[in-house]
Chains A and B, each alone.
Chain A
């Protein structure tokens, strides 16, 4: 196989992987402050793309307005989800909270289906232009947007957790909520902030992805699943690991489809996941603390 093909596999894989990574970042934010796996994360991604499409279609807004508007709306949805379902249920077993997020996911997906219909939609790319050739591989201008924004979000998150009081407070909640609240940290606010952020990151992923991959009311399920896999691959709770995990899955899927079998490519991420659980349960980038009983 020529080198240009391999390069193409990697370029495509990185683009798709970045979106897995963004979804995984959303999972990480909420997991870090609450210990919950938020099954509605994929729906935030879906809503981001769909709201952008329909604020253009129905509201007649230009793309540069529709995109931030949609991200803001989804962020509000994230806050709403926390206020209406998670906060009133504080202190409940994690399993119950996880089930609530499944319920929320069904509600969001169903609401989007009734409001926007069942069709697939496309969003125009952020910047026009033909594919850019790199060493025989083709790169879409939109892919550069995807990679750039993913990187920017990752850097912003890193700075937020390392440099700001709020960020540190959020991490404190993750380590020990009781201790955090004794230290005068308002845990409720931190949880709300984490939901807002993860909705924002998810929506951002949704809008930058829609021009390449198209969007529909039910795209959230698969993205959520892959994002979750990326999250575990990178070590649950580690933002850097989440993005890296996403990129690795994206590239491996692409290479797998190219060299092995396109039918089994979706299994690749999960085979690695299982292997990792057996051999190195803390994830690729987690601390190697073998939590064996």
Chain B
């Protein structure tokens, strides 16, 4: 199973790049903003997938890192008139440093203490966004954030922004892929399988976990800053507990320990409501049902579903009688 994902990726990457370039020309215009939002969530869920899928830790407060960076960059560029790239850099650094402060003590502990720590942290950050009115403009939201501009160019149209966001998705995807294939990736998988065994093998478990956690927060930070300079308006509601569970859902739905899955889960769950508009109020039921049914019948998420289809197709082509698709799944 994992062999398909991780070896056949050179043509896969080319295909991915081609899809990114082609999408805005193939899809109707109004899909651009939806795809931009999907790209932002893809960055978030790739980061979280590194943490959940490869290090076996859950973060229930990921929206906090997303929001910290969005607010930092938003405030610095709006209130203090920093140039946008400097604001984004500051936002990303803030997310990473905060993650280190939260992660290092909690990750020394076994079990899901990081989940609890991040949950609490997420709620606190959300309340601060609401209450620190002088800085964040409180529940009414921060307005007048400038659009992204760099090197004298303002990315004002959605098409330009689409390429900025999805270009970033691509780069971060390649980065994560290389990381997963490195010695570090193997160490992480060892940790996921058994922490005690990994530590016997001389792997500094806590350090590795903390590193991945900080990296996932950096991913969230990048997404957050790009969000702020896209919508040009931010309010605390976008960074609530609800947003955190949404990202977790995208990761699990896409398939844990699959970077492709993370992107697919994010795109699917962002685009889905667009298709569900026709059924108005009932979309919430469909959303819930899709979650439950996917988990129930497709434990490896969308990534596994696609693989099952692919291997079924492959075995048909080879003329084999029985398609033994999604079997032999290993974590």
A complexed with B:
yes
B113 at the interface (CB under 8 A from A): yes
Given A232-B116, A281-B109, A293-B205, residue A271 in contact with residue B245 (CB < 8 A): no
Complex interface: stretch among B5-13, B178-186, B281-289: B281-289
With A95-B252, A274-B117, A293-B205 as known contacts, state yes or no: A109 contacts B127, CB within 8 Å: no
- A221 near B241 with CB under 8 A, answer yes
Residues of B contacting A273 in the complex (Cβ-Cβ under 8 angstroms): 116-117, 120
Could you tell me if B291 and A95 are in contact, using CB atoms closer than 8 angstroms? no
Q: How large is the interface on A (under 10, 10 to 19, 20 to 34, 35 or more residues)?
A: 35 or more
The answer to whether residues A88 and B296 also contact, given A113-B284, A225-B241 and a CB cut-off of 8 A, is yes
Given contacts A93-B331, A96-B299, A106-B287, contact A293 B116 (CB under 8 A): no
Measured CB to CB, the nearest residue on chain A to B206 is: A293
CB-CB contacts below 8 Å: B287-307 with A: 287-292, 295-296, 299
Say yes or no: is B23 at the interface (Cβ < 8 Å to chain A): no
B127, A100: Cβ atoms closer than 8 Å: no
Asked if B121 is at the interface (CB within 8 A of a chain A CB), the reply is yes
Shortest Cβ distance from residue B61 to the other chain A in the assembled complex, whole angstroms: 10
CA distance A92 to B127 in the complex (A): 35
Q: How far is the CB of A263 from chain B (nearest CB, A)?
A: 4
A123 close to chain B: CB less than 8 A: no
Near B by CB (< 8 A), chain A positions 244-293 give: 261, 263-264, 266-267, 270-271, 273-274, 277-278, 281, 291-293
Residues of A within 8 A of B102 (CB): 274
Check A263 against B130 for contact (C-beta < 8 Å). yes
The reply to whether the CB of A62 lies closer than 8 angstroms to some CB of chain B is no
Q: Contacts A99-B248, A106-B291; is A92 near B299 (CB within 8 Å)?
A: yes
B295 touches A96 (CB 8 A): yes
Residues A277 and B117 in contact in the complex (CB < 8 Å), given A95-B256, A264-B127, A270-B124: yes
Residues of B contacting A107 with CB < 8 Å?
A: 285, 288-289, 292
Q: Which residues of the partner chain A approach B124 to less than 8 Å between Cβ atoms?
A: 267, 270-271, 274
17 contacts between A and B (CB under 8 A): A93-B331, A96-B252, A100-B295, A106-B287, A107-B285, A109-B284, A110-B285, A110-B287, A114-B281, A114-B282, A228-B119, A263-B131, A267-B128, A270-B121, A270-B124, A273-B117, A277-B106
Q: Assuming A113-B284, A263-B130, what are 15 further A-B pairs, CB within 8 angstroms? A: A100-B292, A104-B292, A110-B284, A225-B119, A232-B116, A261-B131, A270-B120, A273-B117, A274-B120, A274-B124, A277-B109, A277-B117, A278-B105, A281-B109, A292-B109
